[in-house]
Amino acid sequence: MPIKLNYIIFAPDYDENSGGIIALHKLCHHLNECGESASLWPSIWVRRQSQGWWKRFRRNFKEAIFGVEFDRHPDLITPIAKRRKPGANDVVVYPEVVAGNPLGGINVVRWLLHRPGFHTSVVNFSAGELFFKFADFADDKEITKGVAAQLFVFSVNSLYKNKNTRVRSGVCYLVRKGEGVEIARNLEDAIKIDGLAHEDVAAIFSRCEIFYSYDEASMYSCYAAMCGCLSVVIPKSYSSREAWVAQNPHLQYGVAYGENDLDHARLTQSEVVKYFQSLERSSLESVHRFIATTRDRFG
């Protein structure tokens, strides 16, 4: 009988505006749904220790340090890990932005949610890690040797839905990872959604006529389409729509790549929800494959 593995996922507080953090919390949730034992290790525990707080105040402030509030989604099964060093039956999962192996785990999974080095200037992984990639765009074959299996954890925010608004007016836009661009004159009076809560963004998408995104990979482009808003990505990095979709397949329906692609966005807008439902099914299948692979490697 195979050894029961415990999955410890190193993660920051839940943040509804961070796709990577959502994926980490959702992985924990799905593993528990599948009957596995999974928990979150709050990254703030390690930061507090590295700052020396634990050494200086260990007698009187233990709960203030390790009992610090940690945000989790109320609908997800995401228990907090027990405060102990990971053992032989534990699998520690780190995203690519974490340097080294701060928990000292024996069995380590490195989940590439984005290409290593994209968010951090230094790439520091430990030896013997088992690599997984969120999608092809996140892989670095020089590091993974091309053997990273896919772990695709996907979910859709239920706030975004088409309310069939008859009369729409106004324009909104997003900069996000397209930072450093010069905002077009026709958007100077438009609504910028960067930093807004999902409830507010959904309301804006439901009343606006068109949405522009300077971020070529953002899920907000899909969310706009789901709300019935004409969604347009402003081209920057890719030579054609085909090249863009190859790296961003989640945007293939309901989203125009440039002003000359508006007909595609209109004609395929109704396909977005069905496509995302299929992705959610694929996500669960991906988690099952992740369980099988880690059992083979570490069990």
pLDDT in tens, 34-74: 999 999 999 887 755 544 444 443 444 333 345 567 889 99
Give the fold, CATH level 3, of 6-153: Rossmann fold (3.40.50)
- 3 state DSSP class of 143: helix
Domain chopping of the chain, boundaries: 6-153, 171-276
Instruction: Return d(Cα 86, Cα 88) in angstroms, integer.
Output: 7
pLDDT in tens, 120-136: 877 889 889 999 999 88
Q: What is the per-residue pLDDT for 2? A: 66
Q: How far is CA 135 from CA 9, 71, 97, 131, 140, in A?
A: 19, 26, 16, 12, 11
Tokens of 250: 């989640």
Instruction: Return d(Cα 93, Cα 110) in angstroms, integer.
Output: 6
Q: What are phi and psi of 113, to 5 degrees?
A: -85, -20
pTM above 0.85, yes or no: no
Q: In this structure, is the dihedral angle defined by the CA atoms of residues 67, 90, 291 and 286, taken in order, positive or negative? A: positive
Task: Give the Cβ contact number of residue 239 at 10 Å.
Answer: 8
Q: What is the per-residue pLDDT for 64? A: 37
